[in-house]
Amino acid sequence: MTSTERRLAAYPFVLFSELRDAANEHGYRIGPEEAGGWIFFRSASAPGEIGLAAASASGPFFLSLMLPEVVRALDAQAAAPCAKGHAGSFMFATRDELHAGVQAVYRLSVSLPNFPLEKYERAVAGIGETEGERAQKFRIGQDIFRDALMEYWNGTCPLTGISNPSLLRASHIRPWSDCATNAQRLDVHNGLLLSALWDAAFDAGLVTFDRNGKVLPSAKLDVQAQAQLCISASKSIDLRDEHQPFLDYHRHEVWNQ
C-alpha cells in the first residue's frame, strides 16, 4: 500500500492552487484549512470533509476522507495513513485521476442513505397532512430520491449506458408503498437508475437481479420483449451489500417468476 507520509509538508503556490481547484471544481468550496501536510475542504451541499495532499508537483496525489461509507464505496487505490479523524485515504497517479476521485466522492456523499432523508425532512417541515399536502410530500420525496439516484449512478443507466435524463427513471426496488419508513423510501440503496423500458419491466416484476447483479427474466417475459431489452447480452450491475435486503424483497414479493 502506498504511504501518504510521502506528502509535502508545505506546498508551492501553483501546486496549492491546483489542489484547491480539484476540490472547488467538484463541490468542495469551504476552506482551505491546512494541517500535517493535508489541505482540508468541506462542501455546503454534501456531508463530510476531504483532505488533499501531494508528494510532488507531478504526483502522486492523495485524498483523505472523513466518511467511512464513502471510503467503502470509492473504487480507488488505498493509501495510508489517512488524516487524523478521517476513515481512509487513497492515492491517484495523475491530476485527472485526482479530479475524477474527488468528483466520485462528492457524488457518493450526496447519495448516502441518510442524506436524502435529511433533505426531505427539511423540505417538508411545516407541511400538513391533508390529502393535497400528502401528495405534495410524495412529489418532494420522489424528486429528492431521483436526484440521489442520479448522483449515485452518475446519471447513467447501468444496463444500457443511456444518460439522457428524460429517458431515465428512478426505480424503487422495494416499492414506495411497501416501505415501512421514509428512511427506506429515500435510501439510495433502495433504488436503481434505469432507462424507461427497463424501469417498466422491473416495476412490473418482469425482471429482477440476483445477488451478483445479473438480470433474472420472468417466465412471463416473452421472447420478443427479452430481445428488445437485450437481456442475453446485458451485463451485471454493480451492487453493494446495502442493496441486498431490498433486492431480496423484490425477488420474493414483486418478481413474477
> What are the tens digits of pLDDT across the range 66-75?
999 899 989 9
Average pLDDT over residues 192-211: 96
Grid cell in block for residue 5: 507520509
pLDDT at 152: 87
Tell me, yes or no, whether 171 and 100 share the same domain.
no
- 79/162 same-domain check: no
Mean pLDDT on 201-208:
96
Provide the pLDDT confidence category of residue 11 given band limits of 50, 70 and 90: very high
Place of cell 484547491: 20
Averaged pLDDT for residues 187-192: 94
- pLDDT over threshold 90, residue 151: no
Q: Which amino acid, 19?
A: L
Domain endpoint, select from 110, 145, 174: 110
Residue 13 sits in the same domain as residue 26: yes
Q: Is the pLDDT of residue 44 over 90?
A: no
Give the strand pairing for 77-80 and 61-65.
unpaired
User: Where is the domain boundary, 110, 142, 162?
Assistant: 110
Q: Can you state the angle between helices 95-110 and 13-24, rounded to 10 degrees?
A: 30
User: How many domains does one find in the chain?
Assistant: 2
Regarding whether 170 and 88 lie in a shared domain, the answer is no
93 and 150 both lie in a single domain: no
Specify whether the CB–CB gap between 184 and 249 falls below 8 A.
no
Please indicate, yes or no, whether residues 126 and 229 belong to a single structural domain of this protein: yes
From the CA atom positions of the chain, what is the Rg in Å? 21
Q: Is the pLDDT of residue 257 over 90?
A: no
CB 228 within 8 A of CB 197: yes
3-state secondary structure the chain: CEEHHHCCCCCCHHHHHHHHHHHHCCCCCEEEEEECCEEEEECCCCCCEEEEEECCCCCCEEEEECCHHHHHHCCCEEEECCCCCCCEEEEECCHHHHHHHHHHHHHHHHCCCHHHHHHHHHHHCCCCCCHHHHHHHHHHHHHHHHHHHHHHCCCCCCCCCCCCHHHEEEEECCCHHHCCCHHHHCCHHHEEEEEHHHHHHHHCCCEEECCCCCEEECCCCCHHHHHHHCHHHCCCCCCCHHHHHHHHHHHHHHCCC
For residues 92 and 178, membership in a common domain is answered with no
Instruction: Check if the beta carbon of residue 256 is closer than 8 Å to that of residue 206.
Output: yes
256 phi/psi in degrees, rounded to 5: -90, 90
Query: Mean pLDDT across the stretch 135-154?
Result: 92
- Cell triple for 76: 480507488
pLDDT of residue 59: 96
174-186: pLDDT as tens digits:
999 999 999 999 9
Residues 139 and 85 in one domain: no
pLDDT band per the 50, 70, 90 thresholds, residue 118: confident
Reading the block at residue 91, the C-alpha cell is: 492515492
Contact between 61 and 38 (Cβ < 8 Å): no
Q: Are residues 56 and 18 in the same domain?
A: yes
149 and 100 within one domain? no
pLDDT band of 111, cuts 50, 70, 90: confident
Query: Same structural domain for residues 71 and 192?
Result: no
Among residues 66, 88, 110, which one ends one of the domains? 110
**Most distant CA atoms of the chain, gap in Å:** 64
Please give the average per-residue pLDDT across 144-161, as a whole number. 92
Q: Which domain holds residue 237?
A: 114-254
> Does one domain contain both 142 and 174?
yes
Separation of alpha carbons 152 and 245, rounded Å: 18
Residue whose C-alpha cell is 453493494: 240
